Structure 1
Amino acid sequence: MDYKKSAQEIFKAVGEDSNISSLTHCMTRLRFRLKDESKVKDDEVKQIPGVVGINHQSGQYQIIIGNDVSEYYKELKKLTNLDEQASTDPGAKKENWFNRFANFISSCMSPLIPALIGGGMIKVILILLPLLGWLSEKSSTYAFLNIFGDAPFYFLPVMLAFTSAKYFNVSPMLAVTVAGIMIHPNFSAMVTAGKPVSLMGLPVTLATYSSSVIPILLMVWLMKYLEAGIDKICPASMKSILKPLLMVFISGTLALVVVGPIGTYAGKLLSDIILFIQSKASWLAMPLMAAFMPLIVMTGMHWAFSPIFLAASVATPDSLILPAMLAANIAQGAASLAVAFKTKNKNTKQVATAASISALVAGVTEPSLYGITLKYKRPLYAAMVSGGITGLFMGIVNLKSYAFAVPSIVSLPQFVSKTNSSNLINAIIVLVASFIITFVLTLIFGFDDDPESASTPTVDSKKEALPTATTKIYAPLTGDLVNLTEVSDQTFSKKLLGDGVAIVPNNGKVVAPFDGEVVTVFPTKHAIGLKSDTGVELLIHIGLDTVNLEGKPFTSHIKDGDRVKKGQLLMDVDLEAIKKAGYEVTTPIVITNTGDFSEITLLDEKPVSDDIVLMYTIK
C-alpha cells in the first residue's frame, strides 16, 4: 500500500489546510474536524486506495482506514501545517523524557548500524584469526584490519553529525565540520600532551571526543538555533560568506569550550560518585555500575573511568569497571540474541544476530545498544536488571580483572589470577548468569516488533504460514448479544472492519477471549487489539465514540506486547460514567482479518458470559 500517495489524495479531498481545523486518529479511523464538511465528496473519498468507508459523527468527518491508520496519519501530518497541539489526539500518551531521548538517539543512530556491525564483525575476526594461528598480530594485515574495525567507532561523531543534522534540519556539511574539529588530529595531540590550552583566553577542556555520542548530538541541536539566529541578523548580500564563517567559528568554539566539557564534567562527577560509593560500600558500587553501564557507554562517560581500567594493564587489578563491563557486554549480546530468536522481522533478525555476535565475542556493544536494545527499550531494561543482579554477585565475591581487554567470551583470561583460582570461576559464573538472566528477561518483557519493515508475504505464502485450525473466541464481556448490523455506528454495522458481534455489557470487566498477545491498547483505552496464537486478529471496541472520553472511564491492566491467557482481566470500565457522558456502551467485537478464514460461525444466544463461545473461525 502506498500510504504517501493515498494520504495526498485524502488531504486534497478534504480541502487541504484551508478546510482542516484539526486532525486526530483512533485505532481504526482518521478524525478530521473540518470548517465545511459539505465541500467534501464522500464518494470520491471512498474510492481512495486504503479507505474502507466514511462517517459523519460528533462533529467529525471520520475516514475509516483500519489497522494501518497510524501510517496514513504520519503521512498526513507531513502535509498539514497544523501545530502539534491541533494535530495530536487528545488522548495520546505523552512519552516520558527517557523514551523521547531514546527515540531521538535511535533515530540518529539507526542509519549507522550497518557501519557499526561491519566494524564489530571485523573486531571479532581480529580476535579469532590470531587464536587459530592464521594471522600474526604483528603483521601489517592485522594492523590494516584493525584500522578497518576501528574506523566506524572512531569517526562516530562525524557520522552522527550528518544524521542528526538531517533530524534537526541543520546544514549537514557544517555539522560534519564541527565534528571534525572535535576529533581533529592536532586537538587530539593537545589532549595527549595534557598541557593547559585556551582559545581566545577561554579555557578548553582537554577531552577525547572520538567514539562519543552525546557531545555532537547536543552540539548539532544548538546549531539549529544558531543557524536560525544567524539567518535573521545576516544581510542577504553577505549571507553566502558570513553564515558559514560564523557557523563554523561559533559552533567550533562552543563545542570545545562549553558543550564538550559538559559531558567531561558530568563523567567526572559520575566517576567520583561511583568511587565514593565503592570506598564506602563496594558491594553496592558494582551492581550500580553493571546496571547502568549501557547508559554510561551511550553517553561516552565510560571514558571518565579510563585511569581505573587502564591501570589493570600495568599493576593494579580492576575490581569495578572491567568486571561491570563483562556483565553488561554479555547482557547486551544476550538481549540481542533473544530479540533475534523471537522477532518475525527478517531484517531485525539479521541485525540482532550480528549485533549479538559482536557483543558476545568481541565485547563491541554499540550495534546491540543502538540497533536493538535502545531501539526496543524493554530489552535494554532486561539487560540493566541482569547487570544489577550479576553486579551484586561480583561485588560480594570481589571479582577482579588483571589485564586490560574489552570483556567478552574470548577475553576471559583477563580474569585469571595467579593467587586466586576462584576469580576465573566467578567470572565464568557471571558470564553464564548474565547471558541466561538477560535472555529469559528479554523474552518475558517482550518488545514491540517492527512489522512495517518486514518483507510482505504474498497472499498464497501468507495462507500457508497461518496455522490451519479452528479457533474458539469466548465472550470478553458479560451482557446481551447484539447483531453487528444493529450497531448504530456504520463502521461496524456495515462490517467495514470485518465480521463479528456486539455486546451490551452489564458489568465493566473485559477479559481475554483467548490465549494470545496484546497487539495494541489505544492511548484512550477505549479499544484493544488482540492476536490469538492461531492467528485471529480481534478488535474489542468498548462503547461507541468513547475515544472522546480520553480514557477517563477505563482502567487498563495490560500494555502493548503482553501475553494474555483466556479469562485474564484486560480492562475495568465504568459503564455508568460512559452512559452519563451520553455515549453508548455497546461493544463491537470484530475479527479484523476476516478474509484469512474460510468460515466464521457467530453465536445466536442473547445473554452471554465469559465462559460462552461467541465465534468460531475455521481456516
Structure 2
Amino acid sequence: MRTIQLYISGSYQRRFFPIDTENFTPSTPIIPALIAGGMLKALLTLLTFFKLVDSASQNYYMINFIADAAFYFLPVLVAVSAAHKLKCNPYIAAVIGAALLHPNFTSLVAAEDPVHFFGLPVTLISYGSSVIPSILSVWLMSYVEPLADKISPKPIKFLSKPLITILIVAPVTFIVLGPLGYTIGTGLAAGADYLNQNVGWLVPTLMGAFMPLLVMTGMHWSFTPVIVQSYATYGSEAIMGPGSFVSNICQGAASLAVAVKTKNRELRQVASSAGITALLGVTEPAMFGVTLRLKKPLYAVMIGGACGGLYAGLNGVVRYTSGTPGLASFAVFIGENPMNIVHAFISVGIGFVITFILTWILGFEDVQETAKPVKKGAAAALEQRIEVSSPADGKEIRLEEMKDETFASGVLGKGAAVIPVNGRVSAPVSGKIISVFPTKHAVSMVDENGAEFLIHIGIDTVKLDGKYFTAMVKDGDVVKKGELLVQFDKEAAEAEGYDMTIAVLVTNTQEFLDVIPAKTGEIKEQETLFTIV
C-alpha cells in the first residue's frame, strides 16, 4: 500500500495514513533483521535434521529464541522504521512499540482480568510479532509530536515535548489503535491463510504469471505488509514467495534462450549476462533489456511462471523468510517439512523448461547486426554525429555513477545522466514520441536518424504511480529539441526519499558506432549531453 495523500485546493498536502511499503523494502533495516531470523531458523532446521543439534538441548533452545527475537519484537522494529519515514523521534516510537511488549502488560494479558486505563477499557491482546499497531501509533505520533513541540515552552521543551507525546500516544495506542491494528493485521493474515487453505493453487499461479507486470508498476511492494504479518502469525507465507521465485527463474530461462537463438552478438552478450543475474534473483536487466524489449519472450515468462506457480500451489510450497527470489537464496524454503524445498526446486524446474522451450518456439524479432559504412578520418565521423542535449539544468554524471544497476550496467543502452536542479524535463532531440509511460516518469522517442531514446526520471519512481508527474506530450506527438516533455515536483519526490536523477539512454546503441558523453559537472538545459557517432 502506498501513503494515501489528501489534497485540498490543489496544493495543500498532508499525510493521512502511513502504511507505506517503503518501510518494508530491502533498503530499510527491518528486512535484513527478518532475513537473519528466518535464515537462522532454516539453519537450525538443518542442524536438527542432520542430528548435529538435539531439539531438547539448551543450544537448540538458545538459537531458537534468538531467531524468534526479530519476529517477536516486530512492533519495536516497525515503529522505528515508520518513525524515520514520518520524521518522528525514532526512540520515542521505539518506547511506544516496546510498551506493547512489556512483561507487566503481557502478565495482564495472561491473567485475563479486566483492565482500565483512565477509566476506559483496555483490550487484552498479545502484541508480539504484530505490525499494524505500531504503524498506527507512529502515525498518531507524527501529529502529536509537532503539537507538543509547538505548545512546549522553550526553556523546558527538552523535557515536556517527549512527555506530552508519550502521555497522549501511549493511552490512545492501548485503548484504540492497538486493538484496531491487531484486528486489521490478523484479518489480513487470516485472509491469506484462507486462500492458502481453500484455493492454495490460485495465488502462486497468478503471482508466477503476472509478477513481471507487478514489478514494472511497482505494485509488488504493496503485498509486503501482508507477507510480514503472515511470517509473524504463521511462520511462513505463500502469497509472494513461490510465485516470485518461479517468475525470476523464468526470466533467466527466457534470456538464456534468447542468447542461444539470437544471431546478434551484442544481444547474445546482454542476454547471457542478464539470464545469469536473473537466475540469481536480479531480474531488471533480463526484463527491461531482453524479454520486455522482444515481447514474445515475456509471454513465455508469464506462461512458464503460471505453470511453475501452479505446481508450487498444488503442493503447498511456502517461504519461511524473505530473500531475493533466486537460486542464491533457496534456503528460504527450508523448514520443518523436508519436501517443501523439493517441491520448490521442481516448480522452478518446470517454469525454466517451459519458458525456455516456449521462447524457442514462439521466437522473436531478432535485432539485426547492420554493417554501417564508416568513412575514414575524424571529419567523416563528424558528418554522421548526432548531438543529444541535456533535458534539464543540473549536474551531468556518467551512467555508471547512477545508484541503480540497471542503468549503471548499460544493459538498457548507453547515454548519460543529469542530477536536476528543478522539475523541468525537455526533449533532448527533435523527433516523435513513441510512448509516455502510464506512470509519467519516463518517455521514449525516436529522432529522424532512427536513434531511439529513453528519458527516465528518477530511480524507482515507478512506485510513485504518476504522483508528482505531469506529462506535457502524448504518444505520437512530434516535438522539437528543447520542447517541454514532463514537469515534476522535485522537492516533494525527494522528500519521500527518491533519487530524481534523469537518465537519457540510446536504447538501440548497437546500431551506431559509439555514444560519447560530452563532459561531467554543471550543465545547462540544451547544452550537449553526449554525441552519437
TM (norm. structure 1) is 0.43
Radius of gyration: which is bigger?
1
TM (norm. structure 2) is 0.49
